Amino acid sequence: MNKEWSLDFLYRGFEDEEYKNDKKKLEALISEVSRFSSELSEKQEEAALLQAVEYLEQLQLMGSKFAGYLYSKQAVNTSDSATVNEINYFEKTLSLSTKPSAVIKKFIAKIPNIEKYYEKYPKLKGYDYILSEMKEEANYLLSDDVEEVIAKLNISAASAWSSMQSYLTSTLEVEYRDSMITLSEVRNKAYDADVKVRKEAYIAEVKALEKIKDAISYSLNNIKTQVTTICDLRGYESPLSMTLIDSKMKRETLDALLEAIKEFLPAFHRYLKHKAKLLGHEHGLPWYELFAPLGESGRRFTVEESKDYLIKHFRGFTADLADMVEEAFDNAWIDFYPRKGKVGGAFCENLPFAKQSIILSNFEGSLSDVVTLAHELGHAYHGLNIQEHQPLNVDYSMPVAETASTFNEALIMDAVIEEAQGKEKMTLIESQLQDFTQIICDIYSRYLFETAVFEQSKSGFLFADELKELMLWAQKEAYGEGLDQDYLHPYMWVVKGHYYSDSHNFYNFPYAFGGLFARGLYEKYKAEGEAFVSKYKALLNATTIMSVEDAARQAEIDIENPEFWRNSLRSVEKMIDEFISLAE
Helix, strand, coil share (%) of the chain residues, nearest 5: 70, 5, 25
Q: In 10 A of CB 502, how many CB atoms? A: 19
pLDDT over threshold 60, residue 447: yes
CA 327 to chain centre: 23
Q: Is the dihedral of CA 318, 321, 325, 328 positive or negative?
A: positive
Residue 422's pLDDT band (cuts 50, 70, 90): confident
pLDDT over threshold 60, residue 189: yes
Task: Please say whether the beta carbons of 517 and 403 come within 8 A.
Answer: yes
- Condensed to tens digits (0 to 9), the pLDDT of residues 312-369 reads 999 999 999 999 999 999 999 999 999 999 998 899 999 999 999 999 999 999 888 9
- Condensed to tens digits (0 to 9), the pLDDT of residues 67-109 reads 999 999 999 999 999 999 999 999 999 999 988 998 999 999 9
CATH number attached to the domain at 212-298+398-584: 1.10.1370.20
How confident is the model at residue 300, as a pLDDT? 86
How confident is the model at residue 296, as a pLDDT? 63
pLDDT over threshold 60, residue 297: no
How confident is the model at residue 565, as a pLDDT? 96
- Condensed to tens digits (0 to 9), the pLDDT of residues 121-146 reads 999 999 999 999 998 888 898 887 88
* Cα gap 547→541, rounded to integer Å: 12
Residue 423's pLDDT band (cuts 50, 70, 90): confident
The SS3 assignment for 370 reads helix
Looking at per-residue confidence, does 154 or 472 come out higher? 472
Of 74-83, 183-192, 255-264, 422-431, the least confident: 422-431
Residue spans per domain, the chain: 17-156, 212-298+398-584
User: What single-letter DSSP state applies at residue 483?
Assistant: B
Q: Give the pLDDT mean for 150-160.
A: 89
pLDDT over threshold 80, residue 295: no
Residue 421's pLDDT band (cuts 50, 70, 90): confident
Which helix (H) or strand (E) is 93 found in, with range?
helix 81-95
* Cα gap 52→43, rounded to integer Å: 11
Q: SS3 letters for 303-332?
A: HHHHHHHHHHHHHCCCHHHHHHHHHHHHCC
Q: Give the pLDDT mean for 397-401.
A: 84
CATH 1.10.40.50, applies to 17-156: no
The DSSP bridge pattern shows strands 179-182 and 347-351 to be: unpaired
> Which distant-in-sequence residues (6+ apart) come within 8 Å of 69 by Cβ?
7, 10, 11, 19
- Condensed to tens digits (0 to 9), the pLDDT of residues 43-68 reads 999 999 999 999 999 999 999 999 99
- Condensed to tens digits (0 to 9), the pLDDT of residues 473-505 reads 999 999 999 999 999 999 999 999 999 998 889
> Which distant-in-sequence residues (6+ apart) come within 8 Å of 265 by Cβ?
440, 441, 444, 478, 480
Q: Give all strands of the β-sheet with 334-335 in edge-to-edge order.
A: 334-335, 356-360, 347-351
How confident is the model at residue 479, as a pLDDT? 98
Q: Read off φ and ψ for residue 180, nearest 5 degrees.
A: -105, 125
Which helix (H) or strand (E) is 31 found in, with range?
helix 17-38
pTM, full prediction: 0.81
Summary mean pLDDT of the chain: 94
How confident is the model at residue 363, as a pLDDT? 96
Q: Read off φ and ψ for residue 176, nearest 5 degrees.
A: -135, 115
Same topology, domains 17-156 and 212-298+398-584? Answer is no
